[in-house]
Chains A and B, each alone.
Chain A
Amino acid sequence: MNGIAQLDLVDRDYFTDHSILLDPYEYFEALREKGPVYRLPGRDIFMVTGFAESLEVLANTVDFSSVICVGGPAQQMPFTPEGDNLTPQIEAHRDSFAGGQSLVARDDKAHLNSRALLSRLFVPSRMKANEAYMTGLADRLVKGVLDRGSCELITDIAVPFATLVIADLLGVPADDRDHFMAVIAAGAPPGALDGDDSEESMHPLVVMAGYFVNYIIDRKQNPRADVLTELATASYPDGTLPDVAELVRLSTFVFGAGQDTTAKLLGNAMRFLIEVPGMQAQLRADPKQLPAFLEEVLRLEGSTKMTSRLARKTTTVGGVEIPIGTKVMVALAAANRDPRRWEDPKAFMLNRPRIKENLAFGRGAHVCIGNPLARVETRIVFEKLFEHTSHIGYDETAHGKPGSLKLDYEPSFIIRGLEKMQLALTPR
């Protein structure tokens, strides 16, 4: 029976199967049994579940393009591959790929240049300045739900927190922030399994772009001491200047990218806090262990399950030939549970050796640029929750009793996170 079940699982379609959403890890383990680099039968997609092999793909920006990163490996190619290097075809058709102009999807010099414009956003001095705002905001949000003795973590705390932190970081005027939040809340997550992904999920960013056009033009004309001015007047590393459209694209991108993923990470972290025996008491007694806790959460359940690449030349990964024009799905969540890299990979253990090398944020040229921010954000929300409550648990009327928990995950092949998490809070 077991053998038949395994066969079924590995043959299911990761990109459309809702049952894999609840537990993608079992599916990834079934894939892993086929080898760290496995070609889906009859398809032009390789699934990479090995840690070393994932690193190999992420490091190889010569043979792999990131152009399919937003739409995923199952999307239709807008051209028939020709020749032994697809770079010219990719660039000619970039606009035909879902999110092909996004920072995550760019390659080579265009990517290097765009990323460099954002590189000053996350330096320690900026993080410290932003941290004061984060602390006050988290305090306000947590206090706001204490009277009720319960909250829906994602909507009441995580989403407003992550959204307003990015707004503050970018210098979005306070008056516009509520509108931004409403627009984002109405959108679908990246990699949505249902509906027309490319159109729907980009929509909130299109609305925000309208605002950023005005901010950027205004700051170019009336510079002041804020982040938007810095961005509006920044030059590429080679000294040339980006146009307004590029600046707008980048700022809306940071907004979109830093919001949902961080909100989901907070929910995922909360699961471990509640469900790992003794963990809540241990962290309450010694909150300095929060960063170590978070790294292990990131390893076991980061909010991004996968990323993808298109082979623009024929290459190899882990000794397996990857033909030109085929796609590679790097299962970050699986690499983070590779038993060849992590001892007893399913176990939650604080302070594993070299834990910071987990791949929750990716690695290399496209590593999540906001990773320093996400780490600070999560820590601060937990610190404030600890400060104002003496215990946090699930609201059993919403999620059931321990042992038969019912939790709903967002239908996305990219994002790993809960739609809702009802908590019971015991105020101090």
Chain B
Amino acid sequence: MPHIFVTTAKNVTHELEIDNGATAMITIRDAGLDGLLALCGGVCACATCHVYVDPACASMLGEMSADEDELLDGSIRRKENSRLSCQILLTDALDGLRLTIADED
């Protein structure tokens, strides 16, 4: 089964099964992992599902939208590899994707 790997703020890495059609945010939230608030519920309207994408996996994901870009700009923890996990739609093609949950602003 295809999986993604998600590292929490406590530096614990979890292997989560890919549910085709669910976003990374939903997958992380439903797994009950600590640290992902996802306050807006996945409508790309806040930046509380902020994750870092392992640079080795960067090419697996497409470009981010202007909306996502703008929201991430509002985070003091934005880095080169920042993404909003509600905007990462999981498919089998993302097998092996590695994400780290960003600390809260």
Contacts and interface: CB of A to CB of B under 8 A. Distances in A.
B22 A367 contact: no
Contact of A364 (B22, B41, B66): B41
B41 A367 contact: yes
Interface in B9-62: 20-23, 26, 29-30, 32, 37-46
A113 B29 contact: no
Contacts of B71: 124
Contacts of A9: none
Contacts of B30: 61-62, 365
B44 A123 contact: yes
Interface in A101-153: 109, 112-113, 115-116, 118-125, 127
**Of A236, A366, A369, most B-chain CB atoms within 10 Å:** A369
Contacts of A115: 41-42
B103 interface: no
B21 A236 contact: yes
Given A61-B30, A123-B67, A371 B22 contact: no
Contacts of B21: 109, 112-113, 116, 236-238
Contacts of A371: 39-41, 45
Interface residues of B, number: 24
Contact of A123 (B38, B39, B45, B89): B45
A396 interface: no
Nearest to B68: A123
Given A356-B39, A367-B40, A372 B20 contact: no
A350 interface: no
B32 A119 contact: no
A67 B32 CA distance: 22
B39 A124 contact: no
A364 B40 contact: no
B29 A238 contact: no
B40 A237 contact: no
A281 interface: no
Residue of B20, B40, B45 contacting most chain A CB atoms (<10 Å): B45
Contact of B43 (A61, A109, A121): A121
A119 B70 contact: no
Dominant SS among interface residues on chain A: helix
A120 B21 CA distance: 15
Given A237-B21, A237-B22, A365-B29, A357 B45 contact: no
Contact of B39 (A62, A113, A357, A369): A357
A320 interface: no
Contacts of A20: none
A363 B39 contact: yes
A372 B40 CA distance: 7
A124 B70 contact: yes
A392 interface: no
Nearest to B29: A364
Contacts of B45: 122-124, 127, 371-372
Nearest to A109: B21
Contact of B67 (A59, A62, A124): A124
Given A238-B21, A366-B41, 15 more contacts: A62-B30, A109-B21, A115-B41, A118-B43, A120-B43, A122-B40, A124-B44, A125-B66, A236-B21, A237-B22, A237-B89, A357-B39, A365-B41, A367-B38, A367-B40
Interface of A: 59, 61-62, 109, 112-113, 115-116, 118-125, 127, 236-238, 356-357, 363-369, 371-372
13 contacts: A109-B21, A119-B42, A120-B43, A123-B45, A363-B39, A364-B41, A365-B30, A366-B41, A367-B38, A367-B39, A369-B43, A371-B40, A372-B40
Interface of B: 20-23, 26, 29-30, 32, 37-46, 65-67, 70-71, 89
Would you list the 3 A-B pairs with minimal beta carbon distance, nearest first? A237-B21, A367-B41, A372-B45
